[in-house]
Structure 1
Amino acid sequence: MSDELTSELTAELHELAATGETPPSLSGAEIRGRAVRRRRHRRTAAAVVGASAAAALALVLALNLGGGDTDRHPSPAASPTGTPTTPATPDASVDLFRRVVTVAGRELPLSSGSPLTPTRAGRMTVTAKVSMKLVPAEELRFEGYDMKLPWFIELRASDGKTNYIAGLTYDEKAPGYYNTTSGWIGLRESDAEWLYGQLKEGSVVDIEGTAPTPTPVSTPTATSPTDTAAEGAGTPTARRS
């Protein structure tokens, strides 16, 4: 008899003795057979439990590797980390001090606002384009008549204020040399037409700096009577008859 069967028989006998029951009238062979059947039952139960655990593990692995029902339960999308901003590099830059507009590597001379009506600096966006715009006289600070400005490009700042770029047809000598507008940006007509084709609605324009202070024009000083007499000291005078 093996040690395992002996241990099982001993355990059963002790159990019967502890409960005070009378040992069953079984032969040694029947007792051994009963012990063998119990051992088989235990092995079968252990095998079933092991198979169930293996099947569960295989199912988990299949779900993880194959995606399972992740299509029905997608992971939440990452939330945005910030608000959209305008491009760091503008499509055009306006330098009020140098009196130039820089676009695509080209510099166009400009005339900005006069000292009484300075051009506002800041970032602006192109909101509209018109090949010819009738601008009221009060907006141009002219008296008596409106004026048509060609290649009109409207600009708008983030606070809603507007400005514009257009051809300065009434004074084409001003761009690059002096400021004569009411605050808008004037270009030579040919340059305004080229810029009109470069910028689109939504283009970003940076206006930087301030216009240079105009140099005061010197005025001649008044001549005193004494100086006038001195200047005529060498001039011959008419002789009396």
Structure 2
Amino acid sequence: MSDELTSELRELAAEGEMLPALSGAEIRGRALRRRRRRRTTLAVAGGFAAAGLALALVLNLGGGTDQRPAPAASPTGTPSLPAVPDATVDLSRRVISVAGRELPLSSGSEWTPTGTGRMTVTAKESVKVMPGSVAGIKGDYHLKVPWVIEFSASDGTANYIAGLTYDEKAPGDYDRTTGWIGLRQADAKWLYGQLSPGSVIDVEGTAPTDTPTARSTSTPPTALPGAGAGAGAGSGTSGG
């Protein structure tokens, strides 16, 4: 293609330097031949372009060997809970580990065991009025429980951690609750400031069997600090 165009340009340059020695019919014939050559050149160039486009389409449709990998699928579903919990409850050792500290605890007895698994804190209350049955007291009694941290399992089962005001000797020594986790008041208050709704708690192990001495010591009193008869014993105040 380049040689033909060069040749035609040279002919035009030569014709411009000298007077035409051809008749009108010969000049028209030469112009006709030039038009035919241009058409042939354009047709050949179009053929190359069409062939290139067809090859590109074949490669894009998977006909080539150099195929690009499909983009990775976007992750779906709800985010999982963090691998490391904010607090770990070890029922067998009677401790809860939080921020490098171990706090002694008292959990449910062998008759009312504490549920295990991964839990999430759902609410907090600095004081909560609870039925006396949480302390194993029969009758229409209520008591005020301080520094209450409520948490739930994935199936909706709820439990809580709070200050065990009526028996501060129990945490770390024996289990006397009806399934919730009791701490000394000072420890319960500190933990209340460490955990918030959304915090993750792992409850692991099994509470050891109490000794007869521990069971006799843990007999619930008939009257509890802050307790009163009926529903009018007081009301909880929201904290956090």
1:109 aligned partner: 104
1:33 aligned partner: 27
CA distance in 2, matches of 1:119, 1:107: 19
1:13 aligned partner: none
1:169 aligned partner: 165
Q: Are 1:209 and 2:205 an aligned pair? A: yes
TM norm structure 1: 0.62
Q: Are 1:92 and 2:87 an aligned pair? A: yes
1:68-217 superposed matches below 5 A: 78-144=73-139, 145-216=141-212
CA distance in 2, matches of 1:86, 1:80: 16
1:70 aligned partner: none
CA distance in 1, matches of 2:116, 2:98: 17
Larger radius of gyration: 1
Q: Where does structure 2 lack aligned partners over 5 or more consecutive residues?
A: 5-21, 53-70, 214-240
Q: Secondary structure at the match of 2:103?
A: strand
Larger relative contact order (Cα-Cα within 8 Å, sequence gap ≥ 6): 2
Measure how far apart 1:87 and its partner are: 1.0
Q: Secondary structure at the match of 2:105?
A: strand
Superposed CA deviations along residues 88-124 of structure 1, whole A, max 9, x for unmatched, are 1111100000001011111111000011111011111
2:66 aligned partner: none
Once superposed, what is the RMSD of the aligned Cα atoms?
Answer: 3.0
Measure how far apart 1:39 and its partner are: 3.1
Identity %: 63
Measure how far apart 1:141 and its partner are: 2.2
CA distance in 1, matches of 2:37, 2:196: 82
Q: Report the AA paired with residue 139 of structure 1.
A: V
TM norm structure 2: 0.63
Q: Where does structure 1 lack aligned partners over 5 or more consecutive residues?
A: 5-27, 58-75, 218-241
TM-aligned CA distance change 1:85 to 1:208, over 3 Å? same
Measure how far apart 1:137 and its partner are: 1.4
Measure how far apart 1:41 and its partner are: 1.6
CA distance in 2, matches of 1:150, 1:125: 20
Q: Secondary structure at the match of 1:111?
A: coil
Superposed CA deviations along residues 63-101 of structure 1, whole A, max 9, x for unmatched, are xxxxxxxxxxxxx99432554211111111000000010
CA distance in 1, matches of 2:97, 2:36: 90
